[in-house]
């Protein structure tokens, strides 16, 4: 089955006028195939070639990530579960003075969040669980599972972009504070500049009584890092290579997996684990729905993912630069991972700054 090209299709109903054509309205919006198409076109036209890491998470990619979280080498999940179990009450006390929402950005299967949710239930405080995810399918799955397994938990799923969801919650005048969770070292996907940008944007959506619980993977023995991203069962390799299958399916590309290998490496200077797909020979790939051929040289890489590792001082400066005060820092027993509680610093708007007459 061949579907039409995704790029360069005609725009519909531009607003017309005697004087000009207004293209700024809804006719410029892209559908999800077009969004994917442009991201792939731009990434594979760049040098060095790259693909944005969020593309890894189609249904199969998300399923593979759930398997990664269960791998013996993938320590972050177990470290963070240990932290949440040990400090759940202290974390919740940062917002529990009034009714609050436990707002989860990127809940996945919700397993880690349920540690906090169950502790909040034991504390008999007034709270709701508010997962936010851009995928309606993932949200439907999570909400129905929580409803059956924890029928007494008040849950309100939001299908939204993260900061739009938090902004909407802050605009509700229901007197609830928000404990915003950004767990699992998801911040590690951003380089330092974009991490600041993302956290500043989130800051703008938070009120002074809200708190951010954010997970950081810490700098540690390089061998341990390398093992976590090059596991012995090859699940991480499969997770990375699945991106090629996705492009084959959704954009009608003809990537041949056997000509590619996964490579995970650690850059000590930038502090990032980096993942690549490396072309093992000269090859040309046709991406039908982009109407393009892409050529790969032998050993040419496509960069697919960053996972930045932090020193405590890196976390301190990131917090300060994006407008937060570090209220608490909780490490696991090995000191490999941290869940930080950050409070947004807000300066009151001066009533009138104009000079007196």
113 binds ligand AVJ (CB under 6 A): no
**Dihedrals phi, psi of 3, to nearest 5 degrees:** -100, 160
Closer of 161 and 281 to ligand AVJ (Cβ): 161
In this structure, is the dihedral angle defined by the CA atoms of residues 319, 322, 325 and 327, taken in order, positive or negative?
Answer: negative
DSSP symbol at 83: H
Closer of 165 and 184 to ligand AVJ (Cβ): 184
110 binds ligand AVJ (CB under 6 A): no
Site map (CB under 6 A) of ligand AVJ, residues 49-88, x = contact? -------------------x-------x------------
Closer of 178 and 236 to ligand AVJ (Cβ): 236
Place of tokens 């995704």: 6
189 binds ligand AVJ (CB under 6 A): yes
Give the number of residues in contact with ligand AVJ, rule: CB under 6 A. Answer: 11
In the chain, the DSSP E strands lie at: 15-16, 21-22, 49-50, 100-105, 127-133, 158-159, 177-182, 211-217, 260-267, 272-279, 283-287, 292-296, 301-308, 324-331, 337-344
* Binds ligand AVJ (CB under 6 A): choice among 188, 271, 323, 344: 188
Closer of 44 and 214 to ligand AVJ (Cβ): 214
Q: Which residue is nearest to ligand AVJ (CB)?
A: 307
Closer of 82 and 307 to ligand AVJ (Cβ): 307
User: For the chain, how big is the Rg over CA atoms in Å?
Assistant: 23
In this structure, is the dihedral angle defined by the CA atoms of residues 83, 84, 88 and 93, taken in order, positive or negative?
Answer: positive
Q: DSSP letter string over 170-204?
A: HH--S--EEEEEE-TTGGGGS-HHHHHHHHHHHHH
Burial class (CB in 10 A: 0-12, 13-18, 19+), 328: middle
Residue numbers 243-272 binding ligand AVJ by CB under 6 A:
none
229 binds ligand AVJ (CB under 6 A): yes
> In this chain, which stretch among 38-46, 160-168, 178-186, 193-201 interacts with ligand AVJ, using CB under 6 A?
178-186
Closer of 273 and 285 to ligand AVJ (Cβ): 273
Distance CA 10, CA 7 (A): 9
Q: How near is the Cβ of 269 to ligand AVJ at its closest, in Å?
A: 18
- The site for ligand AVJ (CB under 6 A) is made up of 68, 76, 184-186, 188-189, 229, 236, 305, 307
């Amino acid at each position: 089955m061949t579907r039409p090209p995704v790029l360069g299709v005609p725009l519909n109903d531009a607003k017309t006028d005697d004087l000009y054509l207004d293209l700024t309205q809804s006719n410029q919006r892209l559908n999800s195939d077009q969004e994917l198409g442009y991201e792939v076109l731009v990434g594979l036209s760049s040098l060095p070639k790259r693909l944005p890491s969020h593309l890894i998470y189609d249904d199969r990619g998300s399923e593979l990530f759930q398997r990664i979280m269960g791998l013996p080498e993938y320590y972050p999940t177990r470290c963070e579960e240990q932290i949440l179990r040990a400090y759940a009450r202290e974390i919740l006390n940062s917002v529990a003075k009034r009714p609050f929402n436990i707002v989860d950005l990127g809940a996945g299967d919700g397993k880690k969040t349920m540690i906090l949710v169950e502790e909040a239930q034991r504390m008999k405080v007034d709270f709701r669980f508010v997962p936010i995810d851009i995928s309606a399918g993932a949200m439907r799955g999570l909400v129905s599972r929580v409803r059956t397994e924890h029928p007494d938990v008040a849950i309100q799923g939001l299908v939204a972009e993260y900061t739009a969801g938090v902004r909407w919650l802050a605009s509700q005048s229901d007197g609830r504070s928000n404990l915003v969770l950004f767990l699992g070292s998801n911040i590690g996907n951003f380089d330092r500049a974009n991490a600041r940008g993302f956290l500043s944007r989130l800051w703008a959506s938070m009120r002074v009584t809200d708190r951010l619980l954010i997970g950081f993977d810490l700098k540690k023995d390089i061998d341990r890092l390398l093992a976590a991203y090059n596991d012995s069962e090859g699940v991480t390799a499969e997770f990375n290579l699945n991106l090629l299958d996705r492009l084959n399916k959704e954009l009608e590309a003809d990537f041949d997996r056997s000509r590619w290998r996964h490579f995970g490496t650690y850059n000590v200077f930038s502090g990032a684990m980096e993942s690549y797909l490396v072309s093992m020979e000269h090859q040309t790939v046709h991406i039908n729905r982009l109407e393009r051929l892409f050529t790969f040289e032998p050993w040419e890489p496509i960069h697919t993912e960053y996972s930045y590792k932090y020193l405590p001082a890196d976390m301190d400066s990131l917090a300060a630069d994006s407008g937060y005060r570090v209220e608490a820092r909780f490490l696991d027993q090995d000191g490999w991972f941290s869940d930080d509680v950050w409070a947004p610093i807000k300066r009151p708007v001066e009533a009138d700054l104009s000079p007196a007459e």
